[in-house]
Structure 1
Amino acid sequence: MKNTIFPSADHYQVPRALYIGAWKVWFKRFHQHQEWRESQMPLEASDQKLSLLILNDKRFSVEVLNRLIVPWSYRDTCQLDKAFFLMNPDIVKPISDEEGNFVAARLTDQALDYWDALTFLEQDLFTSYAEARIQADIETPSNEPVVIDDAGLEVIGEDIYPPTVPTKEASDEDFARALVCWIDEDPFTPMYQRQPVGEAVSSWHDRLQSFFWPKPRNGLMQVSHTADALMYRAALLAKGIEDNLDWSSEDKVLAVKTANEVFLQAGVPQRDVTWQNVYEVMQAAINADSHATAKMNSGWSLLASFASHWLNGIKGRTPMICWNSRVSTSIISRLDFLMVEAGYQSLEDRFAHIGTIPGMGGTRPREMSLLWPDGYRSWQTQVAASQFVNKMVHCLNNDKNEDGTLKYKPMPIPSGGSAPWSMQGVQLVLFSDGY
């Protein structure tokens, strides 16, 4: 059996290597890393919501591990019963107490042999995918916030006053320009598990070079290596939609596979990943359709971004931003401050459709002065936010100093050299800034 099956999540499946990698990560993050091969993990089977399990310090349990592996819609229901062990006998072995009740589990010898047979590169890849499940926005069916272990950080650089504050009558472009300038000059310290990673940096260029996901060892080059391949495949599919071509049976398989790999890399597993849903999301993305009824959340927003990246630099077109909790926090917290300083006491229909995305961890949630709309699962927010960030991209690529030179360094690319800033490069900087 190549996959781990979750019968309580409508038989959702993940690669066996991902589950074993997650087991290893759980021991590293919440127990004793060196004991992951032989030691047991408590089951803690429960019908409680995920937020309560975390609140009650049940992070190190098979129940919580399983909850974070399955799609968000199943995360508030029990994911651990006899059927789970019956369907995965070669992966996990239940351990009973004196009364014969299952109380813990350990990896089977077959699972360990399978893991040992993988290359180190494969092992590192799947542990990174597992780590992403912890680092990503943790969505559940309920509104209670869920954060694993990194909430409550102070906003580093929060006392840096923006170099430019627009007037209340200023254009949207002026607010975008002020935000770009502020981020460029604001010192930034990358953080991981409550600890700084390297020295503080400033400028868009240096911020992007310091990007990593989901852990410091996976820097910009490693992330781009996998993301570029996914963007290439997503663009092929989206361009077919642009040209009004019907997807072939091969295209439909490619669409589902590409979407699932995007979600896997980002740590945001989804349900209902059908070719029809992928088609609708890509169609809405390339058309910037604010009235679309296609799927939308942090995962589908990333797919929309990947599928529309080829629209960068095309006049009159808007590539999509990945509008997740971190990116929205970066933009809205800074825009909120600029607007208050400009004299706003309410939004007054300014940026009325740029909405917040819930999320906790790091410095989130941040305190706001104005009442911003809820943008969760909203294509209206998705498009409005993308249009605003596209103005920021324009500033980064075109604003000049008094002597005529470009004000901002071009976007660094992992293979060396540089390129004009793209929506995707900007969103990586915002993703880190909003953490």
Structure 2
Amino acid sequence: MKNTIFPNANHFQIPRALYVGAWKVWFKRFSDHGSWRQGTMPIINSDDKLYQLIESHKRFSVQVLNRLMVPWAYRDTEQVNQAFFLMNVDMVKRVKGDDDSTVYARLTDQALDYWDGLTYLEQDLFTAYAEARIQADIETPSQEPVVIDDAGLALIGEDIYPPIIPEKNAPDEAYAEALVAWIDEDPFTPMYQRLPAGESVSSWHDRLQAFFWPKPRNGLMQVSHSADALMYRAQILAEGIESSIPWTEEDKDMAVKTAHEIFLQAGVPQKDVTWENVYHVMQASISADPNSTAKMNSGWSLLASFSTHWLNNHDNRTPMLCWNSRVATSVISRLDFLMVEAGYTSLEGRFPHIGTVPGVGGTRPREYSLQWPDGYRSWKTQVAASEFVNLMVRCLNNSRNEDGSLKYQPMPIPTGGSAPWSIQGVQLVLFSDGY
């Protein structure tokens, strides 16, 4: 018992522990949590698109669960059929309901025994990975939004007026400084399923300390612990590319495994995770190539960020930001307001490549006054957004009060102490701000 296989997704595989964890999470979020072990879930044989299944109230189904486990390219196609049950006979089985019109499924005894044999730490890890599938950007081949979270959408305004409004034609650094000052003073309440998940805080320092993913129990320390190992491996591979050292077979295997684990942690499974595709993304990332044809979406953008963290505070280098819907929403919604207050009625060629990323949930989408371009899967947007947020990083690290002291607290380190702000620390604050 190693992997769960999805034959209709080109035989994509996930760890069996992730599937059991997802089953448990689906009962917790959409049914009776206490009955997940012996409980049954409707199968729902359907080739409807994922958003249609959600709109018809089918989220508590094996069909929707399976669709969220596979990469985005397969999420609008049938993922529960005879082959799925035959290939996963020791994981899930069909059972009859009280009426003949609905067919259900439940976990097998072997699957439950396997789960019980895991440590509590392993169980917590895989339920967190499953929760991430719900909380992450849910991409599909369709342009229609998918809202799996049971809280639905909310549109809210900002809490305070920005303390700094730049002059209309001020340099980009002035807009970055204004955005940093606004976020620092704006009260922030951590939110989970659109409900408060902690006390309100302010300042970049306290916002980062309040970060969690994908649920409140997984705070900054837990997230950093798992991310650090992935960043370390990504750095080794990226430095090899930087030094023009050919990858060995071991490097190629590590590249594929590292990428898969990054996508797993973020809840954004990808197809075509080959060593060549990982190489091209890393190569484009360390060179900040806006014309790259390498893979790009919310998942590959995170790989780009992990692969360039070692470039923080290097002169004339641009560590990559993870430009997903939450980060894009935070930056663009605030930049949009600042520009309008500064006198813009259209973008007028300003920030031409900073573009939107589709995403719904929490307070997304937000209304903009200006017509921002589409930045989805765009390396031009990836690089331009990274360059702008790096201006914010420099502002956080270098702005000083009249007495010469630092204006902003240094970045908190999960194990204690502090360090200069990095683009990875800033993007976590923006990620929460863009919920």
* TM-score, normalised relative to structure 1: 0.98
SS in 2 for 1:261: helix
Does structure 1 residue 341 correspond to structure 2 residue 302?
A: no
1:194 Cα deviation after fit? 2.0
SS in 1 for 2:305: helix
SS in 1 for 2:103: strand
8 A contact 1:95–1:102 mirrored in 2: no
Residues in 2 aligned to 1:118 and 1:152: alpha-carbon distance in whole angstroms: 36
What's 1:425 paired with? 425
Partner AA of 2:420 in structure 1: P
Q: How many equivalent pairs are there?
A: 434
Does structure 1 residue 68 correspond to structure 2 residue 68?
A: yes
What's 1:313 paired with? 313
Residues in 2 aligned to 1:405 and 1:175: alpha-carbon distance in whole angstroms: 22
What's 2:90 paired with? 90
Identical aligned residues as a percent: 74
What's 1:387 paired with? 387
Residues in 2 aligned to 1:99 and 1:41: alpha-carbon distance in whole angstroms: 14
> What are the residue-to-residue correspondences of 1:327-338 with 2, within 5 Å?
327-338=327-338
Partner AA of 1:21 in structure 2: G
1:198 Cα deviation after fit? 1.3
Give 5+ residue unaligned stretches, structure 2. Answer: none
> What are the residue-to-residue correspondences of 1:247-396 with 2, within 5 Å?
247-396=247-396
What's 2:198 paired with? 198
Does structure 1 residue 41 correspond to structure 2 residue 41?
A: yes
Partner AA of 1:325 in structure 2: S
Residues in 2 aligned to 1:362 and 1:411: alpha-carbon distance in whole angstroms: 26
> What are the residue-to-residue correspondences of 1:42-61 with 2, within 5 Å?
42-61=42-61
Residues in 2 aligned to 1:151 and 1:401: alpha-carbon distance in whole angstroms: 42
> What are the residue-to-residue correspondences of 1:120-139 with 2, within 5 Å?
120-139=120-139
Residues in 2 aligned to 1:97 and 1:224: alpha-carbon distance in whole angstroms: 44
1:152 Cα deviation after fit? 2.1
What's 2:404 paired with? 404
SS in 1 for 2:64: helix
What's 1:152 paired with? 153
Residues in 2 aligned to 1:201 and 1:143: alpha-carbon distance in whole angstroms: 36
1:158 Cα deviation after fit? 1.2
Residues 342-381 of structure 1, C-alpha deviation per residue, up to 9 Å, x if partnerless? 0001111100100000000000000000000000000000
1:153 Cα deviation after fit? 2.6
Partner AA of 2:199 in structure 1: E
Residues in 1 aligned to 2:33 and 2:179: alpha-carbon distance in whole angstroms: 42
Residues in 2 aligned to 1:193 and 1:331: alpha-carbon distance in whole angstroms: 21
What's 1:180 paired with? 180
Residues 265-301 of structure 1, C-alpha deviation per residue, up to 9 Å, x if partnerless? 0000000000000000000000000000000000000
RMSD: 1.1
Give 5+ residue unaligned stretches, structure 1. Answer: none
Partner AA of 1:164 in structure 2: I
Q: Which runs of 4+ in 1 moved over 4 A?
A: 97-102
What's 2:209 paired with? 209
1:95 Cα deviation after fit? 1.2
Shift of the 99–217 alpha-carbon distance from structure 1 to 2, 3 Å rule, reads closer
SS in 2 for 1:5: strand
